[in-house]
Amino acid sequence: QPSDALILGKIKNVDCVLLARHGRHHTIMPSNVNYRANIWALKEENCSHILVTTACGSLREEIQPGDLVIIDQFIDR
C-alpha cells in the first residue's frame, strides 16, 4: 500500500495529486518506502507526470541555506 493517503487538488487549475513518500508525519524510513505501491497509486489516479522534491544540506560553502539546486545525478531504485 502507498506511503500515505493521496491528496487531490488543483494548482492554478491543473489537477494535482500529492503523496508524502515518507508518510505525512515522516514515519517511514527511506529504505522502507514502498516505491512500487506509490507509483501504482499515482498511476491509478491517472497521473501523467511525477515531480519529486527533496531537502538536504551541503558541505559546499558556496551553497547557502535557501538555495535551489537542480541535481544532474541520482540513484534510481
Give domain status of residue 38, yes or no.
Answer: yes
Number of H helices, E strands in the chain: 1, 2
Give domain status of residue 76, yes or no.
Answer: no
DSSP state of 32: G
Count up the domains in the chain and report the number. Answer: 1
**Averaged pLDDT score across all residues of the chain:** 89
Give domain status of residue 13, yes or no.
Answer: yes
Give domain status of residue 17, yes or no.
Answer: yes
Give domain status of residue 50, yes or no.
Answer: no
Q: Place 76 in a pLDDT band, splitting at 50, 70 and 90.
A: low
Question: What domain range includes position 30?
Answer: 7-45
Residue type, 45: E
Flag whether pLDDT at 22 surpasses 90. Answer: yes
Model confidence pLDDT, tens digit, residues 33-63: 999 999 999 999 999 999 888 777 788 899 8
